[in-house]
Amino acid sequence: MTYIKAMLTVIAILLAALVMRPAPVHAETDPASFFIEPGTSPIRNLDGGVTGPGKVFINMSNGDVWGFPTHGAGAPYPVDALRFPVSKPVYLGRFDFAAMKRGR
């Protein structure tokens, strides 16, 4: 009888420990989904200056449009013969997705 009481007590303690364990916390982020324009396009600064050909990325979650100059003659990736090529983004504008309404 003492053995059964001891086993039931151990089971109750383990179940209590299992229930009292805090739930795992997960950080939720809204992953940005990008549309990458096929080919290359002329990248222009907001002041009107042309920086050359590059890739255009559209953030589909907020409508921001970014251009990444490739500095090559139509190359789909950054090209720089003198140093390691890193393309810095150029803000091109924004599409106002909220203004689009379905007609009735």
Distance CA 79, CA 73 (A): 9
Distance CA 89, CA 32 (A): 16
Specify whether the backbone of 46 is left (phi greater than 0), alpha (psi in -120 to 50) or beta.
Answer: alpha
| Total residue length of the chain | 104
Every domain of the chain and the residues it spans: 34-97
* 14-61 confidence digits (pLDDT tens): 988 888 887 777 777 767 689 999 988 888 877 767 678 889 999 988
Q: Over pLDDT 70: what percentage of the chain? A: 90
Beta bridge partners of 2: none
Beta bridge partners of 90: 67
